Structure 1
């Protein structure tokens, strides 16, 4: 999965956090609380995200309603998988990553490994 751009991520972050379908107008209203942005810009970027397969959409009246096709966690995991898969030394990359994370993140990783092991054994 290709990494999303800044505005794409800003739109996706809202949709992920809301946990509900939304229109480009809904997203624009929320973004405009922090900075001015044109409706056409949000609409265009939402359409791009749809073409990339990151958003699904359906019509309600005259407006498209958008829904993420993956969770934030699934998106991040796909980026991590791509980064490791394209690296000639995935072990070295993982070691470098582990050297940079906090003790809390290390604990979260251990917990995730235990969960993944239980799921694969089930």
Structure 2
């Protein structure tokens, strides 16, 4: 039994003293609620940061577009690389990321920019 001393020097019982199952009954719902809130926040962040590569979004992309405009349409790329001065972006499903060592192996959408940083080449493959 847990007892606390007050200013009057007399023992006072805490709310959980005497019955530990009553304490557990109060703590478990609070913990479950906290886990549920954390799962909701994780899901919201995952959905907000996942690129939206589909037929409609790819159809809006045009030659000569800037990277900022492309990001507004399909979102941020999963991988970027500069090869010979040309920037390449890869978009892929995160669930497939563990299956390959290179982004090009699993990419749904590959975008290449020219030296002026404008859309040069676009390769889209539904997987």
TM-score normalized by structure 1? 0.29
Which of the pair is proportionally richer in strand? 2
Name the structure, 1 or 2, with higher relative contact order (CA <8 Å, separation 6+): 1
Which of the pair is proportionally richer in helix? 1
Structure whose CA Rg is larger: 2
TM-score normalized by structure 2? 0.28
